Structure 1
Amino acid sequence: MTRHFRAVAVQPQWRMSYFVAPAAFGRWMRGQLELARPQLSDTRPNLVVLTELNGLPLLLLGGVRARTFAGAARELVLRHWPHVLRLMLTERVSPIRAVQLHLSRVTVPLYLHTAQALALAYGVYLCAGSLPLPRYRLDAGGKLRRVPGVLTNAGVIFGPDGRLIGTADKVHLTPPEAAGGLDLTPGRLDDLRVFPTPVGDLGVAISLDAFRADVRGRLQAQGCTVLLQPDANGSAWTADEGLPPDPARIRPQPLAWLESSWQATTSGQFRYAVNPMVVGNLLDLTFDGQSAITGRLDEGTPQSYAMTDPRGGFLKLLPWVAAGTDAELREAGRVRAAGSGHALENEYLTGVVAADLTLPPSHLPPPPPTPHEQALRAWLAGRADMGS
């Protein structure tokens, strides 16, 4: 049967207060689904997509005194030093990866149980964004065990029945995610798969991955029809950027973003793409952007990101927080960024974009679950205990 469904991208805001306690995190996540609720369809299945690394700030549970992310990392390493040292010695990892692996015993259950409960409660297919996620396996006794040393930026998809559909690791890490920053483990290109569902044949390309030809080609070859791009753009939206493999190629961020989801669908590579972006300042870090759902070039009302010319292909696009000339937009971004000291610091736009989408029937078989997914499914179903 032809698949008719509704796609929803949620643009939330990060604030420190949302991550100091498990209950606060739960309210923040539920608030995103409440924001989406008026846009959910009563007559067709719904796909809700949340943003990249929305589980990362769970490292701040209990609060920190530091005012910078680097300072917070040092504070956490010292706070948990005996455990961090043990992991550094036994798993040969850096202090920042060690503290994340240690805290994953708390952050991962909180994140996954919260996301699973929301998919069930709202009856939606939920791409719950991503989080720093260890790799797991089931041991001979049926206990969940962590694979030593591995910690990826992983997207997680749940069905409306609360079942884990699949996970996807980010392949191309940005400098803040790589060694010297969060020190995450790059995902393997060959591990990326497409998940056929009533809301599309879903392929996950987290943030930078959606810009990369190898990731898009891998998903296209497997029959992806709906590209999911959870995003956390770590700088002012109207600033310039330069990223690997060509950091010298400087261009405005909004112009650069046309090379991800918008290009992926208007070129015909994928039928649709859903790109939610988080906003807000967290410690000394700034996150901003414009969430969008894209399709073919001849679809949608001509519009585009800030600082770019109107064009087709945007089925839905959340406006940026300000309007004006390029110079005025750059200044509007600067005063909202972390540490500006301006009255508008941390004043961003949150919201939701939604579009009704149609696809032909899917003939793709579901991919076999990986050992990691099998372990997580068993644990989420209460058939396995969380080990070390």
Structure 2
Amino acid sequence: MARQQVILAALGALFVIGCDCGSTSGGADAATEADAAADAPADAAADAEDLPAYDPTLPELDDPPGCDATFTDEGDVRVIAMGAKLLVADVESIETFRDAMHRFFRVHAAGCLSDDRPNLIVWPEDTGLHLVLLGSRGADARRASTSVGAYLAVIDGVFAPLQFYGERLGLDLFEYAGLLVMHATGDAAWRALADTFSAMAERYGVTMVAGTNLPELVESDDPAVVDALRDPDYRRPESVMVSADSRVYNFQYAWGPDGELFWSVKKSYLVPTEEDSLMMAWGPLRQMRPLELPFGRFGVVISKDAWMPDVLGRLDDLGADALVQSEAFMGGWAVPPPEEWQPDIVFEASWNHTQRYGSVRASVLPCMTGNYFDLPIDGQSAVFVDAASDDAPAGFIGQPARPGFATVGPWVMEDPGAAQPELTIAERRAILLERGAAMLPGSGAPEENGYIASVVGADLDLTPAANDPGGVAPVDFSASLPLTAWQAGDDTRERNADLCVDDEGGVHLAFESGPVGNRAVMLVSGSLEREDPFSGAAPESTISGSDALQPAVACTSEGILVAAVQRAGDAERIVLAAPGAGEVAELDGQGSFALVSRPALAVDALDASRVALVFHADDGAAARIWIARSEDGGVTFEAPRRVDDSELDGRGPRVNQWSPAVAWRGDTLAVSYVDFRDYSWDGYAMISEDGGGTFPAAPVRVTPVLDERERLYEEVQIVLLPDGDALAAYGGTRERRPDADVAIATLTLPAATTGPETTLSADADPTAHSEWAIAASAPTASGEVGLAWQDASTGRPGVFYAERAADGTIGPALRVDDSAEPRTHALEPIVVLSEERALVIWEDSREGVPRLRHASRQR
């Protein structure tokens, strides 16, 4: 097949599919470059005697070690975020790439390394993005003016290995040219990346995390394969790295202080250019596990994954102490339109997930900078920690200052608000936009591509330690009480509580307890008639062995039913402690599940013998919501089935669902969840009118679409009211604002038509702070519903409560948590409401790890 045909076909495919190009003239520029590439002569296939042998050695540098960051010299680990600037000139050869990475690290970070604690060095997403342009085969591509033109020139440069992979993988060269380029350059790109970061990790005795777009590779010494894939810039090697299959992933890898590669993760959620134009593959959610290091568990999220509630929720469930958000944020930093401020969008991720999740205590954000031909990449690297109300506030450019920043890197100019505090946010942004626009590709300004590289770091303390007592804050509930006694040095975590109330007013609380990897589900019972419902009660282990987590509990006609996830190695199963069973058993019908999580239970409010179990499971096609029902009080269950049985169409994460909840009242059974089907996380409900026997053909969206910008709802709960309608309670970020909101809205059943929403907040302006993790109680007989949520209006996450009356009016927001210690976080509330009392239970960090506390209020 003529290479000219392939190049021109690839040009059409890249533009028809849709390439993220920053210049409106990109199509004409790329077409001109395509003509030049098509007219170029074919590669000469000579094996010259004077070619150098490939040498993976890391060369010595004369530059003395330097340090651009400051540290406290306290804590378990020193983290350093390498905000590297991408320069196409760095990939003239493997040696120039290695020298550039090593020099940047040595000059700006090597002098920061700690001698008395481990060092973790994290690099941005796609640190090796430009490695497809490597060496003599990429010389024409490096001279291109557009990203599409560069790709077309690369096709010409690597045409022989591209043809080899087209035949080997059965991929049409016309249709898959963009994907095949990453296969064709994989051997050289892998050696450049792996040998560079492995050598630096070993040389400096650190853990290095970096990555790029690559297939999974295996070594081959087959002479025909070596001849097809060898790098023409070096002597013929004995072996090459060859693609294991047709899939290419956005990877992050980790090398230990011994230089050995020991871990990798694949990006689960791709941006349209990756998924459509380059036809890359998504990493399945089940491979999302924290990077286990001697000093802590680090969840590594690659760019878009850092906004995805299922990714973040799973890493929190698996005990991630900190997150690394590796970022190459395309589009610029201070760029139009001003109403979609790019720093706000990144703040939605790193800052929010550090404050939102009970396991996560810090987040590290290394940001790449630099124009990649016509694609701008920019951002400020930062380290975030659990916010404290007495923190010195900080922020990205053009933002109000907030607590929770351990450090933030510089931008190309100081925020004008520093010198002129009287400027409004809009006035500050207008000045910053002018500078940002000057750096964009094609601006012609002296500042074009004038981005800076930066290095920031912090010493993180991930070892649990109790906060100072700090006194008691005035609240609107009773003084809080611990669920179990705590003694100094006890780092037992108590998390993910669920409760039910029986017909006698007894309250039954299930929760997970113990260290990650060896958690047990505990059950404790009490009475709503007492101010301290659990006084004198001792929790008992209900589900144990390996790792038991995420319990759900139901008060059925036969007794107390507990469901949970049990993990043993890579196996995950829903298990049940059924009433009267005497032993824990797996739910039948899970043979195809690679991942299960988030079980939820509901008892029919009119018939306690009927029980519904919903959960999140990945059966290999997608991660969806499943249901199983019981007609005998939870003693036996039918086989699980998908709630939404619509065609998956091979779209992977595009049809992922998350965070199920269930409610049952007579013939009406409602299952709610969030779903990524429209490239936004929206809340949906499936309303069955025959008690869950059948569901509609498609779900009903119950969260509002305020505009067409991406929405990130992370949860939705349905409460079935005695009058036949329902209440939806939901939370998340929307309108590209940096803060998260929680809200409620009435649903008219059975159509699930959503009424006007009411936003809940302890602040008069709900957009001033973030609110997360809303919980709604079952309704009282007269229709009141208790609402509790996590609220950052005090400068750190706290718990607040409000009551919805039967007529729909909302009472005032009342503070529930009572710690006056500035670093204590109150998280993940649950609530129960009786005719006499409101009871709220939450995770509280005053003992250094999340532990359950509770408080009540007489009605």
* TM superposition score normalised by structure 1: 0.86
Matched, 1:120 2:237: no
1:299-321, CA deviations, whole angstroms, 9 ceiling, x for partnerless residues?
75201111211001100101222
Q: Does 2:443 correspond to 1:340?
A: yes
The aligned counterpart of 2:185 is: 103
Q: After superposition, where does 1:124-139 map in structure 2 within 5 Å?
A: 124-128=206-210, 130-136=211-217
2:147 corresponding residue in structure 1 = 69
* Contact 1:336–1:347 (8 Å) recurs in 2: yes
Out of 318, 323, 345, the position equivalent to 1:256 is 345
State whether residues 186 and 242 of structure 2, in contact with CA within 8 Å, keep that contact through their aligned partners in structure 1.
no
Output the CA distance in 2 between the equivalents of 1:44 and 1:61.
Answer: 36
Measured after TM superposition, the shift of residue 118 of structure 1 is: 0.5
Q: Deviations over 1:268-293 (max 9, x none)?
A: 34111111001111222211100010
Q: Conserved in 2, the CA contact under 8 Å of 1:9 and 1:276?
A: yes
Q: Does the Cα contact within 8 Å between 2:80 and 2:455 map onto a contact in 1?
A: yes
2:290 is the counterpart of 1:191: no
| Higher mean C-alpha deviation, range 268-277 or range 327-336 | 268-277
Q: Is 1:14 the counterpart of 2:86 in the alignment?
A: yes
Q: Which residue of 1 aligns with 2:335?
A: 239
1:92-139 residue CA offsets vs partner (Å, 9 max, x unmatched): 4410111110110111122111110010011111112x2112113589
Between 206-215 and 54-63, the greater mean CA deviation after superposition: 54-63
Q: Within 5 Å, give how 1:1-388 maps onto structure 2.
A: 4-34=76-106, 35-62=108-135, 63=139, 64=141, 65-93=143-171, 94-128=176-210, 130-136=211-217, 146-180=243-277, 182-240=278-336, 251-269=340-358, 270-298=360-388, 300-322=391-413, 323-324=415-416, 325-360=428-463
Q: Secondary structure at the match of 1:237?
A: coil
Q: 1:287 to 1:300 in 2, by over 3 A?
A: farther
**In structure 2, do the counterparts of structure 1 residues 364 and 97 end up closer, same or farther at CA, with 3 Å as the change threshold?**
same
Give distance in 1, aligned partners of 2:460 and 2:337.
32
How far residue 176 of structure 1 moved from its aligned partner, in angstroms, is 2.3
Contact conserved, 1:26 with 1:114, CA < 8 A, in 2? yes
Equivalent in the alignment of 2:694:
none
Asked if the contact 2:187–2:242 (Cα under 8 Å) also holds between the matched residues in 1, the reply is no
Report how far residue 260 of structure 1 moved.
0.9
In structure 2, the CA distance between the partners of 1:173 and 1:337, relative to structure 1 (3 Å rule), is same
Counterpart-to-counterpart distance in 2, 1:31 and 1:271: 31
TM-superposition CA deviations, 1:191-222 (whole Å, max 9, x none): 11112213420111001101110111111111
1:295 & 1:36 partners in 2: Cα distance? 21
Q: Structure 2 CA distance, aligned partners of 1:193 and 1:256?
A: 25
Partners of 1:92 and 1:38 in 2: CA distance: 49
Residue pair 1:6, 1:355 contacting (<8 A) in 2 also:
yes
Deviating more after overlay: 41-50 vs 262-271: 262-271
Gap change, CA 1:72 and 1:144, over 3 Å in 2: closer
Change (3 A) 1:346 1:261: same
Query: Separation in 1 of the partners of 2:118 and 2:365?
Result: 19
Q: Quick check: which one's strand share is greater?
A: 2
> For 1:120 and 1:70, how far apart are their aligned partners in 2?
37
Residue type of the alignment partner of 2:215? P
Distance 1:7 1:338, change over 3 A: same
Which contiguous aligned blocks of 4+ residues in structure 1 show a shift greater than 6 angstroms? 141-144
CA distance in 1, matches of 2:352, 2:87: 31
Counterpart CA distance in 1 for 2:197 and 2:376 is 25
Query: % of aligned pairs identical?
Result: 31
Distance in 2 between residues matched to 1:241 and 1:201, nearest whole Å: 38
Higher relative contact order (CA 8 A, sep 6+): 1
CA deviations 1:327-378 (Å, max 9, x no partner) are: 111111110111111011111222211111111279656x979xxxxxxxxx
Stretch of structure 1 that moved more, 115-124 or 156-165:
156-165
1:240: how far off?
Answer: 4.9
Query: The residue matched to 2:276 in structure 1 has which SS?
Result: coil
Contact 1:301 1:315 in 2 (8 A): no
Deviations 1:151-172 (A, max 9, x none): 1000001111112220000011
Root-mean-square deviation (CA, aligned residues, Å) is: 2.6
Aligned in 2, Cα 1:179/1:92: closer, same or farther, shift over 3 Å? farther
How far is 1:78 from its partner? 2.2
CA distance in 1, matches of 2:430, 2:351: 25
1:251 deviates by 2.0
Offset at residue 174 of structure 1 (A): 1.1
Distance 1:271 1:118 in 2: 28
Contact 1:304 1:310 in 2 (8 A): yes
Match of 1:385 in 2: none
- What TM-score do the two structures reach when normalised by structure 2? 0.40
> 2-side partners of 1:126 and 1:161: how far apart?
11
Q: Distance in 1 between matches of 2:242 and 2:149?
A: 31
Q: For 2:149 and 2:79, how far apart are their aligned partners in 1?
A: 39
**Worse-superposed segment, 55-64 or 165-174:** 55-64
| Structure 2 contact 187–240 (Cα < 8 Å) conserved | no
Shift of the alpha carbon at 1:146? 2.7
Q: What's the secondary structure of 1:178's corresponding residue?
A: helix
CA contact (8 A) 1:47 1:199 kept: no
Q: Which runs of 5+ in 1 are unaligned?
A: 243-249, 370-388
1:91 positional shift: 2.0
Partner of 1:235, secondary structure, is coil
Rounded Cα–Cα distance in structure 2 between residues aligned with 1:241 and 1:107? 36
Q: For residues 100 and 190 of structure 2, what CA distance do their matches in structure 1 show?
A: 16
C-alpha deviation, 1:226, in angstroms: 1.4
SS in structure 2 of the partner of residue 354 of structure 1? strand
TM-aligned CA distance change 1:126 to 1:187, over 3 Å: same
Q: Distance in 2 between matches of 1:208 and 1:276?
A: 14
Matched residue SS, 1:344: coil
- Gap change, CA 1:229 and 1:92, over 3 Å in 2: farther
Q: 2:299 aligns to what SS in structure 1? A: strand
Distance 2:516 2:355 in 1: 23
* 69 and 339 in structure 1: CA distance in 2 versus 1, 3 angstrom threshold: same
User: In terms of mean alpha carbon deviation, does 73-82 or 304-313 score higher?
Assistant: 73-82
